[in-house]
Structure 1
């Protein structure tokens, strides 16, 4: 009996200079695609982070007014490990982000400010491949990011942004979804994997609340396993997978 053919992932586009990564919480990018970000910044590309919340509802034992500033500090330190210096927060409320015009407007405004060719976000679908339910925050931000990539280029959608000096930006060429169960492309994780481990470890407060396992053992195991699963579809190279929508 013939073995089924495994569909190979394509390399991510490389003809771009600026990217904007938009996610709901601190640690979303570190669990999702920090190894790719490290490789990109090594190549001289510019990557900025935009977070809808400060993750203030993420640690049960820590009240939000203390948790939010702590997780913001950890996120900025985490981004620096992979060469990202621009980290912005929208201050939507953690756990109850609503998909809608306000969220789309905020993300479209950021796209106009940063003028990326590549926009990155996290899985916007209801499940993680059918085996685990996604969170409402991830779904709302991922979907709003896909829509805002178009909103950013239309001066008649959110015309108040033009009044604020934010001219339309039609230069978004791709939106890449990390954590998708239907990936189409990938980035070799090998050059950036160690820094991805270090980047996720900066979220120590969250990780220590999440698991009793040694933080480095947990982080290294999680990221390595994910990269190795993708290797089967990327020529045997450990990789970070994305579902890419061209625009």
Structure 2
């Protein structure tokens, strides 16, 4: 496998509002919470939008019991990194469908919150380059692709005109970048060091999910996962542990 040796560009900093859109509670905490912590410390506003409540994520809990638990964990997790607004779209966990309904819901959120930066998670078929990469989940693929499309939909008044007539949501063409966390072809990075400890605490708020996922001690598991990923990106970011993103400018 060919190693990428080109250096990653620093993430843009000339923005004030970001909207982070992912499929499940914990996706952002595994993906980019260290960067979010640093952004909010700098006075920027970040809003989280979750397509589901993660109700299919714990085998030992039925969806009706699991959904409010994972929602509460997500809100607590977001608060650790300075995010106070967390919204849920209530698509069904595990069977999210890419299509106009999902695009409309995300475009509506973009029009409501008017971000300059939109963040999502890996939308490609695999984690890591194929053929050795792990297969990505349908939910991640559907939401990531819909986010990339909805960033354009949000600015076009003739796509989803009902957002204007029914919800009063005027077009927003101010999205300047869509940044994809967890991509195996990153272009940019954010220094993970200022927010790394809070990213560990943020992911640990998903304790019920983590305890069902692994037999490892939760803090050891979380710290190892996040620090390993940050250090892996350091070789392409001047030796600094980092959160990497594939940035699509608009």
- Give the TM interval when normalised to the shorter protein: over 0.9
Cα distance in 2 for residues equivalent to 1:42 and 1:53: 27
Cα distance in 2 for residues equivalent to 1:14 and 1:34: 16
**Please, which of 208, 214, 217 is the counterpart of residue 214 of structure 1?**
217
TM-score by length of structure 1 reads: 0.98
Structure 2: gaps of 5 or more residues = none
- What does 1:27-176 align with in structure 2 at a 5 Å threshold? 27-129=26-128, 130=130, 131-163=133-165, 164-176=167-179
Q: Aligned in 2, Cα 1:5/1:59: closer, same or farther, shift over 3 Å?
A: closer
Q: Aligned in 2, Cα 1:123/1:213: closer, same or farther, shift over 3 Å?
A: same
- SS in structure 1 of the partner of residue 126 of structure 2: coil
TM-score by length of structure 2 reads: 0.97
- SS in structure 1 of the partner of residue 160 of structure 2: coil
Structure 1: gaps of 5 or more residues = none
**Please, which of 233, 237, 241 is the counterpart of residue 240 of structure 2?**
237
Shift of the alpha carbon at 1:5? 7.7
Equivalent residue number for residue 180 of structure 2: 177
Runs of 4+ with >3 A deviation? none
RMSD of aligned residue pairs (Cα, Å): 0.8
Post-superposition Cα deviations, 1:124-143, rounded to whole Å, max 9, x if no partner, equal 00001221000000000000
Post-superposition Cα deviations, 1:99-122, rounded to whole Å, max 9, x if no partner, equal 000000000000000000000000
How many equivalent residue pairs? 244
